[in-house]
Structure 1
């Protein structure tokens, strides 16, 4: 019996990051959706069942934090990882109330993509 592909949404306004993650995860049979802005990402969440959202917090327009709040209203079981280059980012109280903590924060850049993949897998497994 074949396992269905894992479905991930990569929300990042940097095209190079979106494309590189799309290609990398695609090599491991992930079904990858990408978005450069929150409006597009929310439409994808509304029309697709997504297992995991990888969300940049500093976006043009609305923040990734706001996206997470709205996305969880649409798909309450969505797993979320915050993907940020900010060394001083702290999970705001509004996200902490939704069960998101420092364990769901991943810093850019990712020097070891295989470790990054293991982190995504662990998040989906609920670890």
Structure 2
């Protein structure tokens, strides 16, 4: 991508989680877009401006894994990280097939947000 400042999409149905992640990444210098469901997030992905998505798995309507697969099809340059409260989450084969690994999975609540920040910077660079 040619943009100079990475833009992060936060997709989580819990308002407090969305707002906390948004504030954290904005404090770190990133631009942030948020959505509470996969359908709204797809509209944001369609803009082509998103560098990376931090995606919850349990969502109303479209599940997080379904969103990632569809979003990857529309925007293959976008990276995705999973931020889930499911402690027994296993990466589904359809996400492995698009290049995701267990290193892309973060279980919430995170004791140290720095590990998520490091993963974001590793994928898209610092703002």
Same fold (TM over 0.5): yes
Q: Name the structure 1 match of 2:29.
A: 29
RMSD: 1.3
Q: Name the structure 2 match of 1:116.
A: 116
The TM-score with structure 1 as length reference comes to 0.91
* Runs of 5+ consecutive residues of structure 2 not aligned to the other structure: none
Question: For the Cα contact (< 8 Å) 1:53–1:79, is it kept in 2?
Answer: yes
Q: Residue deviations 1:88-117, cap 9 Å, x none? A: 111111111111121111110111123321
The aligned length equals 123
Q: Name the structure 2 match of 1:62.
A: 62
The runs of 4+ residues in structure 1 deviating greater than 6 Å are none
Q: Distance in 1 between matches of 2:23 and 2:48?
A: 20
Cα displacement (A) at 1:85? 0.9
Cα displacement (A) at 1:123? 2.6
Q: Distance in 1 between matches of 2:44 and 2:109?
A: 25
Q: Distance in 2 between matches of 1:116 and 1:72?
A: 20
Q: Name the structure 1 match of 2:87.
A: 87
Question: For the Cα contact (< 8 Å) 1:6–1:29, is it kept in 2?
Answer: no
The TM-score with structure 2 as length reference comes to 0.91
* Runs of 5+ consecutive residues of structure 1 not aligned to the other structure: none
1:53 aligns with 2:53: yes
Q: Residue deviations 1:50-89, cap 9 Å, x none? A: 1100000001111000000110111111111011111111
